[in-house]
Structure formats: structure tokens, C-alpha cells
Amino acid sequence: MNNQTKTAELQEISTTSKQEYSNKQLAKFLIPTLLGILLFLTPIYIDGRLTIMIALMIDFVNDFTKPIMVPVAVAVTVLPSILSLIVKYSSLKNNSNAFIQVFNPTNGWLITRILGAIVMMMVYLQIGPEWIWHRNTGGVILHDIAPILIAIYFISAILLPLLTEFGLMEFVGTFFNRIFQKLFGLPGSAAVDSIASWLSATSVGIILTTQQYKNGFYSSREACVIATNFSIVSVGYAYFLLKLIGLQDMFISWYFSVAITGIICAIILPKLPPLCFKKHSYHTGEKNQLATETITDEPLFQQAISKAINRAEKAESPQVLVRNSFLVAFDLAISMYPAIMLVGALGLALIEFTPIFQILSQPLVPLLELLQLPEAEKASVALLAGVIDSIMPTILGASIESELTRFVLAGVAVTQIVFLSEVALVLMRAGIGLKLADILLIYVMRVLISLPILTLFAHLFVG
């Protein structure tokens, strides 16, 4: 795109922003946006707990399909992995059909799919070494984690265009742009990513960020910062973790502590390696012109409406959006299921059947003792286990007697954000510029920054 074309488009946007909009144009922005807000961003109280509509939909589907979800999880892991092997070594790999290309991953992901499928069958059939299929290792992934992910992937991906394609990101971004730029060096639309994951699920926030990156609204650096600092676990899941560790009665003070800690991490981490070294390069080659700030004397609200309606006018048809979203969800599911099984089962086996985590966690013991956290030996293992999955610190920490230590462990489980069994794999699959070494370093830094802050709050609220 040449400079004359860019200038013409910006002039068109500027001119359009000053005119009155038809009811049809307003409706194209407002109806999908309000529906998206209702589904993803509106908190509601059900049975005394805070949740959102999309979470209720996911829970309903999971409850309805629960009896068949274990074999479905096996099928989603094994069959696409076999098809990927067939496509990779046949003429089909040259077929340009988008659905067929889902079964044509890179060599690294092909190996991951095949190995994950093998481990899945070993766990499902309980064959091979017990440390693979034991209920506390591969069994946790198959029976506790895998059954709930399909609904999250498909329902979220198919409905997410309501938030991304019809102007909400532009509308919110206009108001929050200065705040997010000053505090985090990010565009204001990152606020929507944060709210989406905060009220729904980490994967939702990452999928949302990935879509915005691939559409040219975020640079690689911005996408990396947002995904590793704002894609926190949902409020509902945070409550589940706190209940698991036996501190649900302290939810308000604990979640306040988690929120403040997360903001501090988001301010500090982008200024440190590896995030500070990420480049402002765009997936599309250049920044999307709809995301470009233009100098105008218009009131802020008018600017927001103008950008939102211009974005909604360029949205694809619902059929195209659903088709593309389905492909995104399907690709994510058939890649993540084998990867989660492979990484999760092996990681949990290391904790359950070897002393490796006990040994590796020893350097954390003096730090925890310095912070005056009781039962530092047990807490160090639980803390390090969080690199496998965010649920691990609360599972292993539930047996710790000290409320002070449990308060901190549950907080770190939420603020660490990245973990290998799901988020790290989704991040690498997203192609936004994060490698495994980056993710591990970010995990370590988030834990080290979070620990003293959460400990301070723990001493304040627990005593």
C-alpha cells in the first residue's frame, strides 16, 4: 500500500467521522457490540457467585456433554494427529484448502501431535508405565482438564468476533489509549483483552490478542506484552483456586491483592528482557490503518463512535466470521490437546514420581524464609510446580497449615499467568513472537515480582 493510498484512507476516515451516521450503520456497530458485552463482559450473580453469560454457556455445554467428553477428548487428540501424518506425507499438503492445511502443521508441531496422541492412548487404555497413566499424572489431564477445554475453545472463538470485528475495540481503545500508553506502552484496546480474560478465561484473552495481532492492530511486542500480562485467569477460576486451597472466605481481600500485584507486574515486565527486546513488527507487514491515531479536534466520544462505525462497516459477513472462527478453534483444539497431554502428563509425573521438583525448588526456600512464610519447604515445591499448571500450587498447597502461605501460593497461581500445560503452548502456537525460553523467563520474573508483593498483602490481611 503506497503513501497516497494511506493518506486517502485516513482522509476518508476523518471525513466520515464528521458526518451523521445512518441507523443501519449505528445498528451494525451497536447490536453485535452490545451482544458481545452481554456475553463476555457483563458480570452476573448466579447462586451467590460472580460469573458471566459466556461462562454459563460453557458450563452448560460441559455439563450436558460430560458423559462423553473423555472419549471425545481422546478422539480430538488421536484422529487429527493421524490425519496430520497422512497429509504431511502425501500430495494433500500442497492443497490450498484452509481446512486441509489445519492438518499440515510444522514438523515440530507434527511431532508434538503424534507423541501427544500416543500418550493419550496410553492414559486412556492404562497401558505402559504407570507413571504416565496414573490418576495423579496423565489421569488429571484426561479426566479433569481435557473435558472442559473443547467448549471453551469453540464457543469463545465463534463468539469473539462480536468483540473484535464490529468496533468495540476501537471504541474502548479511544478512551483508554492515553492511560494504557502511559502505564503500559499499549494501545487502549488492550483493555478489552484484559476484561475478556478476567471475566472468562485466559485462553479467551490470548485468542483475542492473537486475532488482533493477525489483523494488524497489535505489533508483535504489543501482542507479547498483552498476552503475558493481561490474559489472567477468570474471576470464576480464581475463586475455584482459592476454594481449592481453603481460603474462599477471604476472596475480596485476596483478589484485591492479586489485582494490584498484576498491575505492578504489567508496569515492570515490559521494561525488562525478553519483552523489551520484542520488535514493533506487524503480522500484516504494517499497522492496520483503522488502528492509527489521527489528530482531530472532535470530542473524544465522537472520535470513538467514528472509529467504531468505520470498523463495523469493514466487518466480514457473519457466515465468513463463523467459518474463520471455527477453523481457528479447530486448529487450536487439535494442536493443544496432544500438547497438553504430553507436557501435562510428563510434568505431573516428575512431581509425583521423582525428587526433581524437590531439588530444583531448594533455592526458593531461603527466599520464602526471608519473607517469613511458614512451611517454606512445602511451599517451594508447590510454587515451582506452577510452571506445569496454575492449579498445581493450590493442589500441593492445600495440605499446608499456614493461611499466610496458602494466601500467597493461591495469589502466585493467578498472577504467574503463563504455565506449560496450556497457556505456554497456546502462546507458542499463536505465532506472536514468543519462544519457550521467553515464556519460562517471564514465568520466573512474574513469580519473583509477585512473591514479595503478595506476601506484604498476606501479612496485612491474614496477619
Per residue in 356-408, pLDDT (tens digit) is: 999 999 999 999 999 999 999 999 999 999 998 887 888 788 889 999 999 99
Side-chain half-sphere exposure of 306, counting CA atoms within 13 A: 24
Q: Under a CB-based contact definition with an 8 Å cutoff, are residues 235 and 255 in contact?
A: yes
Q: Is the pLDDT of residue 10 over 70?
A: no
Beta carbons within 8 Å of 343's beta carbon, 6+ residues apart: 388, 420, 421, 425
Task: For 119-138, write each residue's pLDDT tens digit.
Answer: 999 999 999 999 999 998 89
Q: Is the pLDDT of residue 168 over 70?
A: yes
CB atoms within 10 A of CB 9: 15
- What is the structure's pLDDT at 304? 87
Beta carbons within 8 Å of 141's beta carbon, 6+ residues apart: 123, 340, 341, 344, 345, 348, 421
Residues 460 and 463: their CA atoms lie apart, in Å, by: 6
Strand partners, 409: none
Cα 463 off chain centre by: 33
Q: Which amino acid is at 30?
A: L
Band of residue 1 on the pLDDT scale cut at 50, 70, 90: very low
- What is the structure's pLDDT at 181? 80
Q: Is the pLDDT of residue 31 over 90?
A: yes
Residues 382 and 62: their CA atoms lie apart, in Å, by: 29
Higher local confidence (pLDDT), 457 or 343: 457
Q: Is the pLDDT of residue 7 over 50?
A: no
Q: What is the DSSP letter of 166?
A: S
**pTM (two decimals):** 0.73
Q: Under a CB-based contact definition with an 8 Å cutoff, are residues 434 and 354 in contact?
A: no
347: nearest Cα among 284, 391, 315, 307: 391
Band of residue 139 on the pLDDT scale cut at 50, 70, 90: very high
Q: Under a CB-based contact definition with an 8 Å cutoff, are residues 454 and 255 in contact?
A: no
**Which letter, b or e, does each residue of 51-90 get, where b requires 16 or more Cβ atoms within 10 Å of its Cβ?**
bbbbbeebeebbeeeeeebeeebbebbbebbebbeebbee
Retrieve residue 312's grid coordinates.
463495523
